Every structure is written in structure tokens, then in C-alpha cells.
Structure 1
Amino acid sequence: MTSVVLALIAGAVVGLSLGGLGGGGTVLTAPALIYLLGFSPQQATTAALVVVAATSATALFAHARAGAVRWRLGAVFAAAGVVPAVVVGRFTEHVPAAVTTGAFAVVAALAGVLLLRRSRSRDRSRAGDAVRPGRAAGVGAGLGALTGFLGVGGGFLAVPALVGVLAVPMSAAVGTSLLVITVNAVAAFGARLGAITAVDWALVGPFAAAALLGAWDGRRLAAKVDATALRRVFAAALVVVSVAMAADTVLNGR
């Protein structure tokens, strides 16, 4: 199987996850680039930000058309993460590859656990449009730092935070998380512009294109397929990824 075909398949999976779940797929992007396409951890996290930003923006548009985005709350959440994403992103090129890979393994495992917890939880319907600036800014800053360091959008953390901490209904949390992911990814990528020449964009292009198409399909799929089943599938995939990356870090030191 050629690298381009692998990029198309992996990109489609990422897009489906983002469009349907508002998270999860971003944690799969960098591992796919590393293990399927041969990118280094630094190259993968930089390229992942491009894929994440473009795919999230596409999925956000689809959710916005359905009226499923809390714009004011999302704006506060996202704005708080911009500076941490930029600051942390500037230091990632000095981080050893083994540290990046190990951190990814931990984050992927956490994402899987959170997705499984969401699959057992019920949607909440209490919170209106009132913005909780302190809470939203605090969680948003943490997600921004995570985005800058690992090249992930943080949707798998943003959605549980929006539902559990800020009491946003699940139906609106997915769309709102996509706004946060898009802003954080763009900010973090801006801090890594000096590293873009080292990335193989001939492979990132097909990956991103498949992810964009997958995001639209993910939105439609989420409306037809049981959300709990979808989350369980992606959670299982994330756990497998985390175990593989942890083993690679221990055995190969990368």
C-alpha cells in the first residue's frame, strides 16, 4: 500500500472522528503521520496542526449551520488558549522525540478514557448561553498549552469540560469544541512556521483533503448512527494507539 493511500485512509478516519464527535481524531493524526507515513514526532505535530485546523473549521461550519455552536462561550474558551498555544509551540523543537512520543501516549490514553466516560453519560440540558469567564478561561488556557506542545486540538478534553464544568448540552458542546480547536490549532501553527520546510507536504495534502471530506461525512454519520457506539470505537482505537506509542518509547527511545 502506497504512502498516499495510507494518508487518504488515515485522513478519512480523523475527519470522521472530528465531524462526528468533536474530538478524538486529532489525537490520531500525529501517530498516523509518525507510524504510517514515517514523519518524525516534531514534523508530525507541526503537520497535524494544519490538518486539525482545516478539518475543524470545516466541521465547525457544518455544526454552525445546524445552530449547534455556543459562540460567546466558545470565544472566551478559545481566546484564553491562544497565548499558551503560541508560547508552548515555540519551545517544542527543543523537546526530545522520546518525550513527545511518551506524552502523546499518555494523552491518547486519556482521550480514550474520556470518550468511554462520555459514552456512559447522559446529555445535560441545564445551562443557557451565559458565559462563565473564569472557568472557561482556565480550561481554555490549559487546552491551548496542550495544543502548542502536542499538535492536538484538545477536543477530547474540551467536550467533557464544556459538558461537565460549564454545563453545556452535548449537542452544543461538540460544535463549540470545534471553534476552540480551530483557534488553538491556528495559533500553535503560527508559532511553528520555522519548521514547515521540514514537513513532506506531498503527503500532508492528501491526508488533509481526506480529513476534510471525512468531517462532512462525520457530521451526517453522527445524525444516523448511535453516538455511544461511535465513541466506543474511537476510544478503543485511541487506547491501542497509546499502548503502541508507549511501547515504542520504551523499546526504541523515540
Structure 2
Amino acid sequence: MSGVLTSGLATGSGGVVGLILGLVGGGGSILAVPLLTYVVGVSSPHVAIGTSALAVSFSAAGNLVPHWRSGMVKWRCAGAFSLAGVLGALAGAAAAKAVDGQSLLALFGVVMLVVGGLMLRKRRSAGDPDVRLTRRSAPVLLPWLLGIGFAVGLFSGFFGIGGGFLIVPGLMLATGMPLPMAIGTSLVAVSAFGAATAASYAASGLIDWPLAGLFILGGLLGGLAGASLGKRLAGHKRALTLTFAGLVILVGLYIVARGALPLLGATS
């Protein structure tokens, strides 16, 4: 594959992820690894995961700004959750690098099936918008924030994904904050987990830096287009989410099927 074609595919793939993030508001990053593997042609699943983690971190940091400005980020809760999650992400990334690449990819397909199924469910949006992590509330909130944060970070680091589909309900469970604030606050954790995972993979030489740059560039452009289009389609967000969930499930089935074929051949 020529360098120009690879560059175009990397930028376009990043654009697809950014567009979905702009339209749906989250979850699009789970397509990064399949796009890098099957569209861009990254041969190593570990390099695809490391490169994806870096792109996810940048994307989340960029999307955080408008949520911050609108007062939808609970910084103290985000800090505690992220601190524990970064430790989990580093442990998860270390474990993932010890797993065979193709086995890791097959497991990733299973995760996509689970994520797609979770996206089909409606989220509750009620909660306490005034919840805060203080000295008085810490004995109740802190154990939940640290425990759930570490568990989600472990999962995120192992698969090199943002984990927003787990972080959002995790924050709501730990603190009781409403959905819009959980979404804004989750971006702090997604950015931190992605950065920790990327750092671990970078230390092992498992990031394709030029591809990551092109993917991030495409993501920024796609995100702008998605945000603009998302405003026009605001009344159809549920339909968009269901459509994306179906796409995630189909891609997950494809990855699992590809991973199962060698096993079937070995047993026949």
C-alpha cells in the first residue's frame, strides 16, 4: 500500500471516528482499532491499540472544552476517578502487551458486541447536579470513585479504548450525578486513561506516530463536521445511537468471526 493511500486512509478513518463522536456524543472511539487494522492496514494489533489510545486521548481532551465551559465537569470527582483509573490503565496495558495480538483482537470483537448491546439500552438522566467531593462527602464518595475508576481504567488500558461507555454509568453510580454531567466529567477520565495507555505502549515502541498524527487530524475535522451535523439532527439522536450500536455489533461480529476461523481450521 502506497504512503499517500495509507495517509489518506488514516486521515479518513480518524474523520469517521470524529464524525461519530460529533453525531452521537461518545463511543465512536471503539471503531478506531478496527479501522486502523482493517482499513489502514496496521499489521500489529498491539500497534493499532497503542496508536488508537493516543488518538482517543487527544479526541477526548478536545471534546472536553465545551463541556467545561458549560459547567458540566465535576473536577474533584474526575480527579479521584482518573487517578485510580490511570493506575488501572497502566496495569491493563502491561497485561495486554503480554497477550498474543490475534487473541487480543478477538477479545476486542467480543467487547464490541457488549458495547453495542449496552448502547441499545436507554440511560437514565436523573441525578443530583449539586453533588461534590468534599471532606464531608469523601467517606461515602471516595471509595466508590477509586474502586470503579481503577476497574474501568484496567479495562480501558487492556483494550486501548476510552471506556466512556463504562465511565459514564460508573460516575453516575459512584456519585449520583446526572447524565449530562457524567458525560462531561467522563472526558477527563477518557483523556487520562488514553494518555496512560499510550505512554505504556510508546515505551515499548508500539505506536505509529505519523499514523497517529493523521488519525488525530482526521478526528478533529470529522468532529467539527459531526458537531455541525449533530445540531441539525438533534431530534433524531436516539435513532443515530441505535444505528451506530448496530454498526458496532456488526463490526464486532466480523472481528470475532475472523478470530474464530483459524481456531476452526486448527480443529478440523
TM-score using structure 2 length: 0.84
CA distance in 1: counterparts of 2:229 and 2:167, whole angstroms: 21
Tell me if structure 1 keeps the 8 A contact 2:201–2:207: no
Match of 1:233 in 2: 243
1:49-198 equivalent positions in 2, closer than 5 A? 49-117=53-121, 120-131=122-133, 132-196=141-205
1:20 Cα offset (Å): 5.0
1:181 Cα offset (Å): 0.4
Tell me if structure 2 keeps the 8 A contact 1:116–1:232: yes
Provide the alpha-carbon RMSD of the alignment. 2.2
1:199 Cα offset (Å): 4.1
1:216 Cα offset (Å): 4.1
1:207 to 192, 215, 220: 215
Consecutive unaligned residues of structure 1, counting only runs of 5 or more, are none
* Secondary structure of the structure 2 residue equivalent to 1:62: helix
Tell me if structure 1 keeps the 8 A contact 2:77–2:132: yes
CA distance in 2: counterparts of 1:38 and 1:160, whole angstroms: 34
Q: Give the direction of change, closer, same or farther, for the CA distance of 1:245–1:83 in structure 2 (3 Å limit).
A: same
Consecutive unaligned residues of structure 2, counting only runs of 5 or more, are 134-140, 264-268
CA distance in 2: counterparts of 1:220 and 1:160, whole angstroms: 27
State which drifts further: 137-146 or 159-168: 159-168
CA distance in 1: counterparts of 2:182 and 2:26, whole angstroms: 11
CA distance in 2: counterparts of 1:3 and 1:57, whole angstroms: 26
TM-score using structure 1 length: 0.89
1:243 Cα offset (Å): 0.3
How many aligned residue pairs are there? 250
State which drifts further: 212-221 or 157-166: 212-221
State which drifts further: 23-32 or 199-208: 199-208
Match of 2:137 in 1: none
Q: Give the direction of change, closer, same or farther, for the CA distance of 1:216–1:141 in structure 2 (3 Å limit).
A: farther
